[in-house]
């Protein structure tokens, strides 16, 4: 989970301490379309996966990203 938070922080150009579990694209000014694609690429590279268009479109919150990665068995349930 810590690595995911670092990926999110890096893509959004924020510090890890600024990453809030409740953050969404709508509530985070730094999470624009470019940052979103940087985040997608970082996640795909780090977790060695390929996300489809629907998955990418659904990744509009940190909770959604965590849920997707858990569904794929890439994050534990903690």
For 8-45, the pLDDT digits (tens) are: 999 999 999 999 999 999 999 999 999 999 999 999 99
Are 63 and 20 within 8 A, CB to CB?
Answer: no
Tokens of 39: 């985040």
Query: Does 1 score more than 90 pLDDT?
Result: no
Whole-angstrom distance, CA of residue 19 vs CA of residue 14 = 7
Q: Bridge-partner residues for 24, per DSSP? A: 61
The fold adopted by the segment(s) 2-71 is: 1.10.1200
Query: Does 78 score more than 80 pLDDT?
Result: no
* 61 phi/psi in degrees, rounded to 5: -150, 160
């Amino acid at each position: 989970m810590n690595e995911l938070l670092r990926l999110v922080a890096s893509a959004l150009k924020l510090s890890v301490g600024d990453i809030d579990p409740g953050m969404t694209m709508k509530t985070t000014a730094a999470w624009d379309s470019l940052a979103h694609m940087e985040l997608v690429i970082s996640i795909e590279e780090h977790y060695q996966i390929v996300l489809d268009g629907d998955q990418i479109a659904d990744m509009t919150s940190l909770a959604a990203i965590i849920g997707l990665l858990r569904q794929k068995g890439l994050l534990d349930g903690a």
